[in-house]
């Protein structure tokens, strides 16, 4: 079987993993509710942070949501097992990381190969990797004197911010830009390209071959 076959399912049953505000989650949920993404549903939201705004977003949209954190479990294995059980119980076939601050366990990456997406607030492969999150990313972009930044939707593999790139959108870094203003500009385009990437997967338009070459056909 080709890897790409597994991406083509009739309905994306999505689990969203989130740790923070949940603005990307909101953008995705609204795109589904407004019919911009068809053949997709968020089945469950999982957060490692009990205070995550993402849990309130789930609540507002009547999506089942769970707080699961490592501290609640005796071992990494039992923690990962609990997450896997939620995925199985909700028949999840696709995962989106929407501001998720933890590394996804390799067993989950393997089970959902090419079916886990992340969004990163920079133009990968630049300005990614461990420790590159939040304002640190935008500080680094400005410090490097970049003329452009942007957002990247990519497949999640075993390394931080490393997997196959699906969509990228650029914006200009203005003179006098601060990390805060840049973060705001980038977040706005995140809210456009993340739902768009999910729509492409939901439509079966994305093929990833054995060499990780992406083809988008619509
Ligand atoms: C976004 O900037 C995203 O790129 C990064 O985490 C942030 C999440 O924001 N991975 P939100 O929780 O979706 O508002």
The rounded Å distance from CA 110 to ligand 1 centre is: 24
Per-residue pLDDT of the chain (218 residues; tens, 9 = 90+): 344 444 567 899 999 999 999 999 999 999 999 999 999 999 999 999 999 999 999 999 999 999 999 999 999 999 999 999 999 999 999 999 999 999 999 999 999 999 999 999 999 999 999 999 999 999 999 999 999 999 999 999 999 999 999 999 999 999 999 999 999 999 999 999 999 999 999 999 999 999 999 999 98
The rounded Å distance from CA 2 to ligand 1 centre is: 32
Atom of ligand 1 nearest to the CA of 97: 10
Please indicate whether residue 161, judged by its CB atom, sits closer than 6 Å to ligand 1: no
> What is the per-residue pLDDT for 3?
43
> What is the per-residue pLDDT for 2?
41
- Nearest residue (by CA) to ligand 1, atom 8, is 99
> What is the per-residue pLDDT for 7?
59
Please indicate whether residue 19, judged by its CB atom, sits closer than 6 Å to ligand 1: no
- Nearest residue (by CA) to ligand 1, atom 14, is 23
DSSP the chain: --GGGGG--SSEEEEEEE-S--HHHHHHHHHHHTTSS-SEEEEEEEES-TT-HHHHHHHHTT--EEE--GGGSSSHHHHHHHHHHHHHHTT--EEEESS--SPPPHHHHHHTTT-EEEEESS-TTTT-STT--THHHHHHHHHTT-SEEEEEEEE--SSTT-S-EEEEEEEE--TT--HHHHHHHHHHHHHHHHHHHHHHHHTT-EEE-TT--EEE--
The residues assigned a catalytic role are: 120
The rounded Å distance from CA 129 to ligand 1 centre is: 15
Please indicate whether residue 24, judged by its CB atom, sits closer than 6 Å to ligand 1: yes
């Amino acid at each position: 079987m080709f890897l790409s076959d597994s991406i083509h399912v009739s309905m994306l049953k999505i689990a969203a993993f989130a740790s923070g505000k949940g603005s990307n989650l909101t953008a995705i949920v609204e795109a589904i509710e407004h019919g911009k993404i068809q053949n997709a549903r968020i089945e469950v939201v999982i957060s490692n942070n009990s205070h995550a705004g993402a849990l309130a977003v789930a609540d507002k949209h009547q999506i089942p949501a769970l707080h699961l954190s490592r501290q609640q479990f005796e071992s990494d294995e039992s923690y990962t097992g609990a997450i896997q059980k939620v995925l199985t119980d909700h028949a999840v076939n696709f995962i989106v990381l929407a501001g998720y601050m933890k590394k996804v366990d390799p067993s989950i990456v393997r089970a959902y190969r090419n079916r886990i997406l992340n969004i990163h607030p920079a133009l990968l492969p630049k300005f990614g990797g461990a420790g590159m999150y939040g304002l640190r990313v935008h500080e680094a972009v400005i410090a490097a004197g970049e003329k452009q930044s942007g957002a990247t939707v990519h497949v999640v593999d075993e390394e931080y911010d490393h997997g196959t790139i699906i969509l990228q959108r650029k914006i200009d870094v203005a003179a006098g830009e601060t990390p805060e203003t840049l973060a705001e500009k980038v977040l706005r385009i995140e809210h456009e390209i993340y739902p768009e990437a999910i729509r492409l997967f939901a439509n079966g338009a994305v093929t990833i071959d054995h060499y990780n070459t992406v083809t988008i056909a619509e």
